[in-house]
Amino acid sequence: MPHSVKIMPDASSPTGPLVAVLVYDGLCTFEFGVAYEVFGLPRPEMGQGWYRYATSAIEPGPLRAAGGLTVEPDGGLKLLAEADLVIVPGWRHIDSPVPADLIAHLTAAHRRGARLMSLCSGIAVLAACGLLDGRAATTHWRYAPAIGARHPTIALDPDRLYVDLGDVLTAAGSAAALDLCLHVIRRDFGPDAANTVARRLVVPPHRDGGQAQFIERPVPREREAARLGPLIDWLRQTLTEPHRIETIAARSGMSQRTFQRRFEETTGLPPGEWLVAERVRLAREQLERNRGASLGDIAESCGFNSLETMRHHFRRRVGVSPAAYRARFGGE
């Protein structure tokens, strides 16, 4: 006998944005669970303005989910007329047709101003709505060829964990759903709220992805972003330079002690560690995309003073040598 799961809004009645999660026969259980864990789990510590949550069935039941579960929804597609954020938690099959009435309700919600978000294979639904035509998006690497062939005008970038266009958001593989959901919290309620939820989930608030997936620029706290943002951009553009702390602090107009404290508050890392992380990130990118360059040339172009230095930091942060990383992720 399958288990029946009734997901209901919490009786304490938060008053914040309404998140409607689509449910359907063949539901992707993991992505659905991520959406509930982040947006549906009662979080009284976040106050009355926290998200409201509901499940919206796209078809009559029984609605079976992977793993032997059935889901009893809160309502049907009419819920989308009230939603502030609509989540497509994966799709039953990347080639499965998207019902016309679902497309109509989603496009109507989008016109009304609701944000639409897909997790993993859920991009198939948003693509069928035409909302990604001529725009950037991401999905799991294994689905990118099928989506790209069916919707060639979408600027797919499967090297990204997620893409936020403001009105439409897409996440890559299943675990990247968490990254995007935390990003939405950060955007709606600020970094402290996102960090609090991340701690509850025991996941990092910002994550470097697996196979060529990474968040290139974690969102800094607004108070320091205006002051340190241009400096951080300059550092990224000049990673080949040695960058002594006293020189960077002077450029920022702060004492060394104040600069180091505020830089770590903004980025989560001390300046020296941040520079190493950025150089490793750049090395990963070059190893993935530039098979013709020697490891020594890559080390030099990323600001490491020697190949051995790059090997040391790369292995410490990525877990494998640069050569092994290139062999695994460097393409043809």
CATH number of the domain enclosing 320: 1.10.10.60
pLDDT-derived band at 225 (thresholds 50, 70, 90) equals low
Please indicate, yes or no, whether residues 68 and 100 belong to a single structural domain of this protein. yes
Please indicate, yes or no, whether residues 269 and 148 belong to a single structural domain of this protein. no
Which CATH number do you get for residue 123? 3.40.50.880
pLDDT of residue 206: 56
pLDDT of residue 210: 38
Q: How many domains does the chain have?
A: 2
Give the separation between CA 227 and CA 233, rounded to whole angstroms.
Answer: 11
Residue written as token pair 């009734």 = 6
pLDDT at 208 over 60: no
| Percent of the chain scoring above 70 in pLDDT | 88
Q: Mark which of 201, 235, 264 sits at the end of a domain.
A: 201
Give the separation between CA 173 and CA 157, rounded to whole angstroms.
Answer: 12
pLDDT at 78 over 60: yes
Token pair for 142: 């294994």
Please indicate, yes or no, whether residues 280 and 172 belong to a single structural domain of this protein. no
Please indicate, yes or no, whether residues 62 and 167 belong to a single structural domain of this protein. yes
pLDDT of residue 329: 65
For the residues 206-213, what does the mean pLDDT come to? 44
Give the separation between CA 246 and CA 183, rounded to whole angstroms.
Answer: 33
The answer to whether 131 touches 165, Cβ cutoff 8 Å, is no
pLDDT digits 0-9 by tens, 314-329: 988 877 799 988 887 6
Please indicate, yes or no, whether residues 191 and 240 belong to a single structural domain of this protein. no
Residue 209 lies in a domain: no
Residue 212 lies in a domain: no
Please indicate, yes or no, whether residues 99 and 176 belong to a single structural domain of this protein. yes
Please indicate, yes or no, whether residues 153 and 228 belong to a single structural domain of this protein. no
Which residues, 6+ apart, have CB-to-CB distance to 303 below 8 Å?
239, 240, 241, 242, 243, 275, 279, 282
φ, ψ (nearest 5 deg) of residue 256: -60, -45
Strand order across the beta sheet in which 115-119 lies: 52-57, 18-23, 85-89, 115-119, 168-171, 162-164
The dihedral built from the CA positions of residue 47, 199, 325 and 281, taken in this order, carries a sign that is: positive
pLDDT at 66 over 90: no
Give the separation between CA 190 and CA 222, rounded to whole angstroms.
Answer: 9
pLDDT digits 0-9 by tens, 226-265: 568 889 889 989 999 999 999 999 998 899 999 998 888 8
pLDDT at 330 over 70: no
| Percent of the chain scoring above 90 in pLDDT | 49
pLDDT of residue 14: 80
pLDDT at 131 over 90: yes
Which of 58-62, 69-73, 145-149, 203-207 is predicted least confidently? 203-207
pLDDT of residue 296: 95
Give the separation between CA 47 and CA 14, rounded to whole angstroms.
Answer: 8
For 113, counting Cβ atoms within 10 Å of its Cβ (0-12 exposed, 13-18 middle, 19+ buried), the class is exposed
Give the separation between CA 178 and CA 35, rounded to whole angstroms.
Answer: 8
- What is the DSSP track for 135-188? SEE---TTTHHHHHHH-TTSEE-TTSSEEE-SSEEEE-STTHHHHHHHHHHHHH
pLDDT digits 0-9 by tens, 279-309: 998 898 888 778 789 999 999 999 999 999 9
Please indicate, yes or no, whether residues 250 and 187 belong to a single structural domain of this protein. no
pLDDT of residue 213: 34
Residue 207 lies in a domain: no
Rg (CA), the chain: 22
For 65, counting Cβ atoms within 10 Å of its Cβ (0-12 exposed, 13-18 middle, 19+ buried), the class is buried
Residue 216 lies in a domain: no
pLDDT-derived band at 1 (thresholds 50, 70, 90) equals very low
Residue 315 lies in a domain: yes
Residue 151 lies in a domain: yes
Please indicate, yes or no, whether residues 99 and 141 belong to a single structural domain of this protein. yes
pLDDT at 209 over 50: no
Full residue range of the structural domain in which residue 242 is found? 222-329
Residue 213 lies in a domain: no
Q: Which residue in 107, 98, 88 sits closest to 28, CA to CA?
A: 88
Which of 85-89, 246-250, 268-272 is predicted least confidently? 268-272
pLDDT of residue 10: 43
Please indicate, yes or no, whether residues 142 and 242 belong to a single structural domain of this protein. no
Length of the chain as a residue count? 332
HEC string of 14-60 equals CCCCEEEEEECCCECHHHHHHHHHHHHCCCHHHCCCCCEEEEEECCC
Residue 112 lies in a domain: yes
Give the separation between CA 290 and CA 326, rounded to whole angstroms.
Answer: 9
pLDDT of residue 224: 53
Please indicate, yes or no, whether residues 18 and 164 belong to a single structural domain of this protein. yes
Give the separation between CA 124 and CA 308, rounded to whole angstroms.
Answer: 44
Please indicate, yes or no, whether residues 157 and 238 belong to a single structural domain of this protein. no
Q: Mark which of 168, 201, 234 sits at the end of a domain.
A: 201
